[in-house]
Structure 1
Amino acid sequence: MYVLKLAGIKALRGLIGLIRVLSATFSSAPPAPKPSRTITLPWSKRGSQGSKIRFDVWIPSSSPSSNDTRGKWPIIVNLHGSGFCIPGHGTDARFLRFVADKVGAVVLDVDYRHAPEDPYPAALDDVHAFVQWIRSGGYLQTSILEKQQDGQPSLETSRWDRTRLALTGFSSGGNLVLTACVRLHATGGPSQLPQAVVAFYPSTNVAESPYAKPKVKPKPTKPGKEGKPAGGVIPPVVRQLFYASYLPPHVSRKDPQVSPLYADPAAFPASTTLITCEGDSLAREGEQMYEHLIGGPNKGAVHLQVPGQGHGWDHMVKPGTHAEELRQESYELAARRIREAFASST
């Protein structure tokens, strides 16, 4: 069975990789921004000798003293979308540059292990360990972060504020930032939660069969080319392959560290923001997650449903379209929520 899963995922990886190359080649959008630095570290926390972890560092354009009385940058950790299986590190570049500058925060875009080679809980283990590394100030003892290279800026890790942390994620990365909160709460209580979490079109109910999810698709939001939607539809058979590859048979799909919809609402920070897409089959469970949160003690949760767009729309917009405007609005909301959460913690 594992061989069949691996063959299916490898075929999808090849197809998606080709689509990304073609999209980048023929896109009319400006080139995506580049991170300040890409770091690869030995990572013993992965439990295998010689294991490494990679992350991109995005340094904000302004100095910390110009927009923060502490004179330090807070930290945002981002997780890319992958269906838990597809490598996608670096695909959130436009959002990462935007949020780094708009919030005035260091953004660490972390790669994590993928199924089926590394099924659950490998990805969640990576995220949890990385957050603990940040919280403990591990980056302050890591000399490679401060090594200067030609043409690369200083990362100034002494000016990173590990007491203020936000998590952001897209699709399966959205699932992982939510389940990371569940684990942080379970292992350390409310004090271990980040100040804010933002999940874009996350999978919140892996227990629900992909064939039972709503059959929706993107639809125009305005007449003409300007209103053409962006984003896609993930066929149930593909989502089923993702779920089966990610989760071993013995793992309950209703485990809160798998499906955050089943978690205690207290396991999430007051500033929890869910952004869903009307033309995405995951929109319903995202809305259910929001209702679950505000039905408990988390009255500060916010849900934005983006009209007309499909899954991953913000990565596929064309310049001059309404989809581009909607992307800007959603990114502004995410940045504002994080910025306000950091300000309230001072």
Structure 2
Amino acid sequence: MAMTSIFTSIRYLYLKVLITFSRLLINLLSSSPKPNPDYILQIPSRQSNRTIKVHVYNPLAENIGEAPSPGPAPVLINLYGSGLTIPLHGLDDPFCRFVSKNTNYIVLDVEYSLAPEFPFPNALNDVEDVLNYVESHPDQYDSEKISISGFSSGGTLALAIAASASASASTSTTHIRRAPFKSLIAFYPATNLSQDPALRKTPVGGKERSPFWTRIFRKAYIGPYDSRDPRISPAFVTDEDMARLPQYMLFVTGGVGCFCG
């Protein structure tokens, strides 16, 4: 038992050092996101003494002086691309602003937990906590019009939470739900995290990414869990659960986009 604990600690430190280095390198080579939300929410987490930061893009905030729309508003929950480890919350600011400006949707851009500090299933739990918050405020949000979107690993999480929302009690540790999302948009999500990253094809016009770093990110996120768990790799969702996913789904890939509805 002691040896297992020692091995786990060493493994965590190894992954922590590598990912910290990766974070520093990304900060040096690229500029940090500079989002401009209308306001910020701190949503209670199921973890004690912790909240989940959410950037809010509210179309009514852009029309001050006009009469607000009657009743609760539809809402889009957005999940940014992080490799499940890199803190880039705010990167999707242009997308969130575009949706808010051109629709009547309130957009909630979620800063979910990252590995290795918070491995699976912490990120999914955060998204579910945000969903709980939305559903518990029917005066503000229309529970019949909740959509979810995500970029890259955020797209993976969006698919995973939609799939786990339809999963049976024997395969899900989260609270059981039945199709809480009206629609889903996933931009180039990774659907099979059990597959060797070296087998991936570089997206059209994209840059090749190191399989080494992808393996490190996935190890930090997945930990001791089975990488074929549909909450981790949505490609393994059963046909029965697929039928319970949102009625409207849009997948945008690096080569070919498809609409499913």
In which range does the TM-score fall when normalised by the shorter chain? 0.7 to 0.9
Shift of 1:62: 5.1
**Cross-structure match for 1:185:** 166
TM superposition score normalised by structure 2: 0.82
Q: Is 1:301 aligned with 2:253?
A: no
Mapped pair 1:277 → 2:236:
no
Structure 1 residues 67 and 200: alpha-carbon distance in aligned structure 2, compared to 1, 3 A threshold: farther
| Alpha-carbon contact 1:75-1:106 (below 8 Å) kept | yes
SS across alignment from 1:234: coil
1:188 CA displacement: 3.9
Between the two proteins, the alignment pairs up a number of residues equal to 238
Write the distance in 1 (CA, Å) between the matches of 2:158 and 2:244. Answer: 12
User: Distance between the aligned counterparts of 1:257 and 1:195, measured in 2?
Assistant: 19
**Residue 40 of structure 2 corresponds to which residue in structure 1?**
38
Aligned CA RMSD, in angstroms, stands at 2.5
Structure 1 pair 55–209 and aligned structure 2 pair: CA distance change class (3 A): same
**Residue type of the partner of 2:24?**
G
> What stretches of structure 1 of length at least 5 have no aligned partner?
25-31, 141-157, 220-230, 291-299, 303-346
The residue number in structure 2 matching 1:160 is 141
1:136-180 CA distance string (max 9 Å, x none): 22xx7xxxxxxxxxxxxxxxxx44323310001111100001000
Within 2, Cα distance between the matches of 1:5 and 1:188? 32
**1 or 2, which has the higher helix percentage?**
1
**Structure 2 spans left out of the alignment, 5+ residues:** 1-10, 168-174
* CA separation of 1:33 and 1:55: change in aligned 2, threshold 3 A: closer
The residue number in structure 1 matching 2:222 is 247
Aligned position for 1:58: 57
What are the equivalent positions in structure 2 for 1:208-247 lying under 5 Å apart? Answer: 208-214=195-201, 216=202, 218-219=204-205, 231-247=206-222
Residue of structure 1 equivalent to 2:83: 83
CA shift for structure 1 position 213: 2.2
State the SS of the aligned residue for 1:90.
Answer: coil
Distance between the aligned counterparts of 1:33 and 1:82, measured in 2? 16
Equivalent AA in structure 1 for residue 41 of structure 2: I
How far did 1:90 drift? 0.7
- The aligned counterpart of 2:14 is 4
Contact 2:144 2:182 (8 Å CA) reproduced: no
Paired residues of 2:79 and 2:157 also in contact (CA < 8 A): yes
Q: SS at 2:52's partner residue?
A: strand
- Tell me the percent identity: 31
State which of 219, 229, 232 in structure 2 corresponds to 1:258.
232
Q: Residue deviations 1:19-77, cap 9 Å, x none?
A: 332x88xxxxxxx6611002224x2412xx311211111011358x9997x64420111
Per the alignment, in what secondary structure is the counterpart of residue 149 of structure 2?
Answer: strand
Offset, 1:92:
0.2
Letter of the structure 1 residue corresponding to residue 122 of structure 2: A
Aligned equivalents of 2:212 and 2:35: distance in 1? 34
Does the 8 Å CA contact 1:33/1:97 hold for their aligned counterparts?
A: no
1:185 aligned counterpart, secondary structure: coil
CA offsets 1:223-255 (integer angstroms, 9 cap, x no match): xxxxxxxx4332111111111111113x11111
Q: Deviations over 1:108-159 (max 9, x none)?
A: 111111001111111011111211221122xx7xxxxxxxxxxxxxxxxx44
- The verdict on how the C-alpha distance between 1:170 and 1:240 changes in structure 2, with shifts beyond 3 A counting, is same
Structure 1: distance between partners of 2:143 and 2:130: 12
Kept after mapping to 1: 8 A contact 2:203/2:254: no
